[in-house]
Structure 1
Amino acid sequence: MSPANPQSRRDFLRGGTAKKTAEKSDAAAPVRRPPGEEPATTVDPTARPYLTKVGRRAMACEFQVYFNAGQFADAEVAAIEALDVVEAIEAQLTVYREESELSRLNRQARRESVSIADNLYELIERCVDLFHQTDAAFDITSGPLSKIWGFARREGRVPEAKEIATAREHIGSHLVELDANGPSVRFLDPQVEINLGGIGKGYALDEAAECLAARGVDDYLLHGGKSSVLARGRHLEHPRGWSVGLVHPLNPKQRIAEIALVDQALSTSGSGTQFIRHQGRRLGHILDPRTGWPAEGVLSATVVCDSAAEADALSTALFVLGPEKAKEFCDRRPDVQAVLIVSGEREGTIRIEPLNIDPQRWALLDS
């Protein structure tokens, strides 16, 4: 794919929309300091090993690539090409641009079968499969619910029961008809629309990783907005892997755990910043498409698995499913690791529930 806003690699490296610095990564370096103490952000470039970072804004967040400085020739150029891939995927998948392929699909598939690119078809097919695997907790057609709740505009409100019922009549990934021979997609309800926001960042990371692999770069950490992370190979200084911190869902400045990633992806879903209060209840922006109401019972859900796209989707799904059903899901899928954070017995406290997590790969931090 070609990037939406092409620019020369030379201009990119000079400053433009990217940043390249030699520094220690807060996401990639193990934390061994008192809680609340901020990490160092720069180091002496003569002290090895250190990390190089290349970043670009896309999908309403900052995407960044970290790699071991000096390990690979032309690593910065490879990182720029990987971010070009992210930008091209945003141009294809966004629902906020009328000319995107997904916007065209949403306009036309309500009337007829629409031929689409192979990669988009495969992504939608994957989403429909996850819809069935998660008992409809992950649903790419649930966008109308976000609209009536106001979360799509960050203006939360409690809709009338009739609004919720009407919206629910027209959602459900079973209403998306797939034809692999096209490949093509058709909607079985004229009011169905697809939004890939729940999997798009992770998918972009997976595709960016393919780009880096093709250039021979195989030790790095990629993230999109810090909530979606993909790590390959090793941080030279830390053979356990690339260490990623989990934050307290009610106090984002406090780290409560670390997970070391080796050839894995991680995604966290939570409603710590987007929520409204209604009749004494705290209602977050992650909605349960099966009820039309905000999901309750989990403060944050973190998933670790091989694919960043799947980690993205499943972190949302496990948040929606709640602790009991999430455990049942992880029992069926031992390849999926998860950390659920739920409310503790006393107000303001939390309980951490690890599911399938390798005890050698994660650790709680002192509170």
Structure 2
Amino acid sequence: MAGSGRAAPGAAGTWTAEQPSHASNTASPDNTARASWTVWELEASVTVTDPELLAAAEEAVRGVVAAIDLACSRFREDSELMMVQSRMSQGVGVSPLFRLLLERALEAARLTGGDVDPTLGAELAALGHGPEWQRPGLTSIPVPLQPAPPRRPSVPRAPGWTRLNLDASTLTLPAGLRLDLGATAKAVAADLAAAAVHQALGCGVLINLGGDLASAGPGPREDSGPGQWQVMVQDLPADPCQQVSLAPGFALATSSTQKRRWKHQGTEVHHILDPRFGLPAEPVWRSVTVAAPTCLEANAFSTAAVVRGFAAVDWFRAEGIAARLVDSRGRVVTTGDWPADNGSPSLAAGGSSHAGGGRRG
């Protein structure tokens, strides 16, 4: 089950009945079963430790994903985000789910010192990534990567997330700012889906939403008892790969500068923006994969690492974040408890990976 840093929610709308699931052989050695389908133009899958519960688990995951898509997609006119976007400067009431998604987005902003900012919707649209954009132009462009547009503002953009106000009943966002929850909503969907399956069915579960992985409950069965989830970490097929063991209850996320790339005014751009400038981050890293207690945290840190570039390594090492960073030449750097690519690599078996934020200098 490969990790991949693909586009956030909204890339293609919600799943439909015409996008069938594909169940794996239920006679797998660890007695797990897996179903996969397509959502947001990405692979989605659910793996459970009880094959008889696979259909119910898939239904639960699809329900969570559909609800989040309807709440915050920028690519459907009937989403709550699109219906209230133009009225946010006057203050609007929002649904409990939308509030939760926004609270998680603000948590990611705090964890990363603003490197993950949910108010970049206008900047993404200006680069051609918006509801009017013809998505077939999206491509995965092999390295070497082209640099981000060279013309950056001389004065950094004021942090948008600090100007967002969410009180007990109302969301207010200054005019000129537009929300885009894509940097966090897919990860939140993975966390919520894993919790929903385990709470409803009691089995162990691993969710994969386009490279955002979350687990809940016991791991796959082994001779000695519940084991760990086996995950293959790789971005594009030519990139270095590594199989790791993920402890039950932990999460993994990969952010990539190689996918969701397109040409804007003759320059190749990608979807991970540096909030200081509202432009694509310099592609120092092909991909960054992070392990953490929640997919929200893992995704926030992996995205922030792309934004921080080379400075991410010292940050991760100082904070003990378990990560695997692949640079533009395919060289691998690891931090925290990320295992070496030999022996029996295991992640988060003895504790958690968590770090505070703090803006870089």
**SS state of the match for residue 190, structure 1?**
coil
Distance 1:271 1:169, change over 3 A: closer
The alignment status of 1:219 with 2:200, answered yes or no, reads: no
SS at match of 1:269: strand
| Contact 1:199-1:312 at 8 Å conserved across structures | yes
Alignment partner of 1:84: what SS? helix
Aligned to 1:303: 290
Match of 2:23 in 1: 21
Q: Retained in 2: the 8 A contact 1:285–1:294?
A: yes
Q: Which amino acid aligns with 1:114?
A: V
1:326 Cα offset (Å): 4.7
- 1:92-103 to 2 correspondence within 5 Å? 92-103=71-82
1:107 counterpart residue number? 86
Corresponding residue for 2:125?
147
CA–CA separation in structure 2 for the residues paired with 1:274 and 1:62? 14
Name the aligned partner's letter for residue 21 of structure 1. Answer: A
- Partner amino acid, structure 1, of 2:161: S
Give 2:301's match in structure 1, choosing from 314, 317, 323: 314
Q: Which of 312, 318, 324 does residue 339 from structure 1 map onto?
A: 324
* The one of 95, 102, 106 aligned to 1:128: 106
What TM-score, normalized by structure 2, do the two folds share? Answer: 0.74
Tell me by how many angstroms 1:21 deviates: 2.2
Aligned equivalent of 1:207: 192
1:272 positional shift = 1.6
Deviation at residue 199 of structure 1 after TM alignment:
1.0
The 8 Å contact of residues 20 and 52 in structure 1, kept in 2 or not, is answered as no
Other-structure match for 1:270: 256
1:293 lines up with 2:295 in the alignment: no
Displacement after TM superposition at 1:361 (Å) = 3.8
- Decide which of 223, 228, 235 is 1:241's aligned counterpart: 228
Q: Does 2:259 align with 1:259? A: no
- Report the alpha carbon displacement of residue 231 of structure 1 after superposing the two structures with TM: 2.4
Distance 1:47 1:64 in 2: 16
Report what 1:41 is aligned to: none
Aligned twin of 1:228:
212
Normalised TM-score (structure 1): 0.73
List runs of 5+ in structure 2 lacking aligned partners.
1-12, 139-145, 348-361
Deviations 1:288-326 (A, max 9, x none): 111333322222111111111222222111211123245
Q: Which has the higher Rg, Structure 1 or Structure 2?
A: 1
Structure with greater proportional strand content = 1
Are the equivalent residues in 1 in contact too, given 2:157–2:275 (CA < 8 A)? no
Aligned pairs for 1:29-178 within 5 A: 48-70=29-51, 73-110=52-89, 112-152=90-130, 153=133, 161=151, 165=153, 172-178=160-166
The CA deviation at 1:55 is 3.3
Percent of aligned positions with the same letter in both sequences?
23
SS in 1 for 2:237: strand
User: For residues 254 and 14 of structure 2, what CA distance do their matches in structure 1 show?
Assistant: 29
Supply the distance in 2 between the matched residues of 1:254 and 1:149 (Cα, whole angstroms).
27
Task: Rate the CA distance shift 1:341–1:134 in 2: closer, same or farther, 3 A.
Answer: same
Tell whether the 8 Å contact from 1:63 to 1:83 is kept in structure 2 after alignment. Answer: no
> 1:355, CA displacement in angstroms?
3.0
1:261-299 residue CA offsets vs partner (Å, 9 max, x unmatched): 121111101112344799xx9864422111333322222
Coordinate RMSD, CA, aligned = 3.5
Q: Distance in 1 between matches of 2:177 and 2:76?
A: 18
